[in-house]
Amino acid sequence: MYNGEQTNQMILDILANLGDQGKISEILNDFRADYTTTLTDVETLNTEKTELGTLNENLRGVNNKMMKQLGDLSFLTDNQNKNQNQNQNQNQNDNEVPYSSLYNENGELK
């Protein structure tokens, strides 16, 4: 596919060679071949786009149906947060040394 600069150059070449019909025919044939390829590519991409759009809608429908069947799952994250908080509290309690364990039976620091 020709970009804008290449297309402009082709037009300038045509204008510069108005008297040379062979050169103009060659440039226009190249341009026609590129244009035909571009149209084919665009048609293919449009078909793929339509297919992907249909597939996306199908996936959304399946996802919505599945979410309706599962219902509200927010309680799972609430339970997960509670468990994490309990684990943190347990870890803090495990790391704390009781006051009585700092002294031996004679009242001296261990």
CA atoms lying within 13 Å on the CB side of residue 52: 6
pTM (two decimals)? 0.50
Q: Identify residue 51 by its one-letter amino acid code.
A: E
Asked whether 110 and 103 are in contact (CB, 8 A), the reply is yes
Q: What pLDDT is attached to residue 82?
A: 74
Q: What pLDDT is attached to residue 97?
A: 67
Distance between CA atoms of residues 36 and 67, nearest Å: 46
Q: Is residue 91's pLDDT more than 70?
A: no
Number of Cβ within a 10 Å radius of residue 41: 11
- The answer to the question of residue 96 being in a domain is yes
Q: What pLDDT is attached to residue 57?
A: 96
Residue 92's pLDDT band, with cuts at 50, 70 and 90, is: low
- The answer to the question of residue 109 being in a domain is no
- The answer to the question of residue 91 being in a domain is yes
Q: Is residue 110's pLDDT more than 70?
A: no
Angle at 89 between CA 85 and CA 91, to 5 degrees: 115
Domains in the chain, number: 1
pLDDT in tens, 22-79: 999 999 999 999 999 999 999 999 999 999 999 999 999 999 998 888 777 777 777 7
Tell which phi-psi region holds residue 104, choosing left (phi > 0), alpha (psi between -120 and 50) or beta.
beta
Length of the chain: 110
Q: Provide the domain limits for residue 12.
A: 4-102
* 3-class state of residue 65 by DSSP: helix
